């Protein structure tokens, strides 16, 4: 039984609140989630009674196979084709995904005669945030592959290995363990580089008594995982121990207390308050976490700078506090979990033992 009709119905049930009769879906991820069609080009038009997928001839066969719940509109890439496609919605109020359309595409669309247009931010994303059991199984598979790669880190780390070499060894492991791709570019940061939350691995070679930060994720069946561990290669000094302890306590506070009904900004504060109490508050500059699914970063966002949302059962979120001291280094610990009725259940399970003895 396909999940897609239920997803389309859930979307349609919101049309009246959005004051639209139809929705044009141009985000590739939203298109995939609503239809199953994984091609690189195409858009959906969902009306009250029809669900239509438009794509070009490269994908007609694939579209019929992957999206049997949709009528296929064969886009011949002629200028009139877009108009014919949109006319399938009649003279309707059509919603467009304002976050997933270029100005040029918008200009072409809004020049068409007939429909009236309504810009919508985040129409499909809030629906995608809540995962069904099939999606959770796929995410668990992705998280398990990431766990198995993280388990390799202590054996791979040695004096002289470069960030790029370690990243490649981990990426290779994930692919061999069943990842179809990486969920995002692997972050491996040594020493002071770990103070940059999104450092790109480079030629820097590891010396004894340095931090090793690894943030990585596999993608499996289209779904992403995301996990960070911070290690110390050698004998950690007091500062590392203090900072690691503060980040771990912040992460645990959030994991233990978050549950459905929590406000996303209050969720951030659960960890931020623990870090602030240690005096390192100004060195935790990013949000506590984010949703993960078909996209590596998706709704909901647990951040003081993002619109607050109520956390709901079935959401998959990361918890990833960090403390970053420029010139010294940083510590981040990140786990991926699913909100169940009584709290957050982590689906990444790698141990948080930071010390890797010198080999």
What mask of x and - would describe binding to Zn ion in positions 327 to 356, judged by CB under 5 A?
Answer: -------x----------------------
Distance CA 203, CA 205 (A): 6
Tell whether the torsion through CA atoms of 15, 17, 18 and 21 is positive or negative. Answer: positive
Q: How many residues bind Zn ion (CB under 5 A)?
A: 5
Q: Give the nearest distance from C-beta 334 to Zn ion in angstroms.
A: 5
Q: Give the nearest distance from C-beta 300 to Zn ion in angstroms.
A: 13
From candidates 125, 171, 210, 226, binder to Zn ion by CB under 5 A: 226
CB of 45 or CB of 227, closer to Zn ion: 227
Q: Give the nearest distance from C-beta 193 to Zn ion in angstroms.
A: 16
Distance CA 328, CA 206 (A): 15
Q: Give the nearest distance from C-beta 188 to Zn ion in angstroms.
A: 12
CB of 54 or CB of 318, closer to Zn ion: 318
Distance CA 38, CA 63 (A): 8
Which residue matches tokens 């668990």? 140
CB of 72 or CB of 149, closer to Zn ion: 149
Q: Is 80 in a helix, a strand, or coil?
A: helix
215 near Zn ion, rule: CB under 5 A: yes
> Using CB under 5 A, which of the segments 175-183, 208-216, 237-245, 275-283 binds Zn ion?
208-216
CB of 75 or CB of 320, closer to Zn ion: 320
125 near Zn ion, rule: CB under 5 A: no
Residue 195, strand partner residues: none
318 near Zn ion, rule: CB under 5 A: yes
Applying the rule CB under 5 A, the residues between 183 and 202 that interact with Zn ion are none
CB of 63 or CB of 336, closer to Zn ion: 336
> Using CB under 5 A, which of the segments 97-105, 188-196, 227-235, 238-246 binds Zn ion?
227-235
Which residue matches tokens 């690189």? 40
* 39 contacts 56 by C-beta, under 8 angstroms: no
Q: Give the nearest distance from C-beta 53 to Zn ion in angstroms.
A: 31
Q: Give the nearest distance from C-beta 344 to Zn ion in angstroms.
A: 15
Instruction: Estimate the crossing angle of helix 103-110 against helix 79-87, to 10 degrees.
Output: 70
From 247, 283, 246, 250, select the one nearest 269 (Cα to Cα): 250
Which residue matches tokens 């982590």? 346
Q: Give the nearest distance from C-beta 336 to Zn ion in angstroms.
A: 8
> Using CB under 5 A, which of the segments 50-58, 90-98, 224-232, 271-279 binds Zn ion?
224-232
Which residue matches tokens 């979990």? 337
From 340, 277, 347, select the one nearest 319 (Cα to Cα): 347
| C-beta neighbour count of 237 within 10 angstroms | 10
Which residue matches tokens 């200009």? 107
Q: What does the binding site for Zn ion look like in residue numbers (CB under 5 A)?
A: 215, 226, 228, 318, 334
């Amino acid at each position: 039984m396909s999940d897609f009709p239920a997803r389309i119905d859930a979307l349609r049930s919101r049309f009246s609140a959005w004051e639209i009769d139809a929705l044009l879906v141009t985000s590739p991820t939203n298109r995939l989630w609503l239809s199953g069609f994984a091609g690189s080009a195409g858009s959906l038009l969902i009306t009250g009674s029809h669900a239509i997928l438009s794509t070009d001839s490269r994908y007609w066969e694939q579209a019929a196979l992957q999206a049997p719940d949709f009528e296929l509109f064969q886009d011949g890439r002629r200028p009139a084709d877009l108009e014919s496609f949109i006319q399938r919605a009649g003279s309707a109020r059509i919603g467009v995904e304002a976050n997933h359309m270029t100005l040029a595409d918008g200009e072409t669309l809004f020049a068409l005669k007939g429909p009236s247009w309504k810009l919508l931010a985040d129409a499909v994303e809030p629906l995608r945030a809540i995962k069904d059991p099939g999606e959770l199984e796929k995410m668990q598979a992705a998280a398990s592959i990431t766990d198995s790669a993280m388990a390799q880190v202590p054996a791979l780390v040695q004096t002289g290995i470069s960030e790029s070499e370690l990243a490649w060894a981990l990426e290779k492991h994930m692919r061999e363990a069943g990842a179809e791709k990486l969920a995002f570019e692997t972050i491996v940061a040594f020493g002071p580089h770990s103070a940059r939350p999104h450092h790109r691995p480079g030629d820097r070679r590891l010396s004894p008594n340095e931090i090793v930060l690894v943030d990585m994720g596999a993608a499996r069946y289209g779904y992403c995982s995301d996990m960070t561990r911070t290690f110390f290669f050698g004998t950690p000094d007091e500062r590392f121990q203090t900072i690691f302890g503060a980040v771990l306590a912040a992460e645990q506070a959030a994991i233990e207390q978050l549950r459905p009904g929590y406000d996303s900004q209050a969720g951030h504060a659960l960890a931020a308050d623990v870090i602030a109490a240690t005096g390192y508050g100004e060195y935790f500059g990013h949000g506590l976490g984010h949703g993960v699914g078909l996209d590596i970063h998706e709704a909901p966002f647990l951040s003081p700078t993002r619109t607050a949302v109520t956390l709901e059962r079935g959401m998959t979120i990361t918890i990833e506090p960090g403390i970053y001291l420029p010139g010294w280094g940083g510590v981040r610990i990140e786990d991926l979990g699913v909100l169940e009725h009584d709290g957050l259940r982590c689906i990444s399970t790698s141990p948080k033992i930071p010390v890797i003895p010198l080999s």
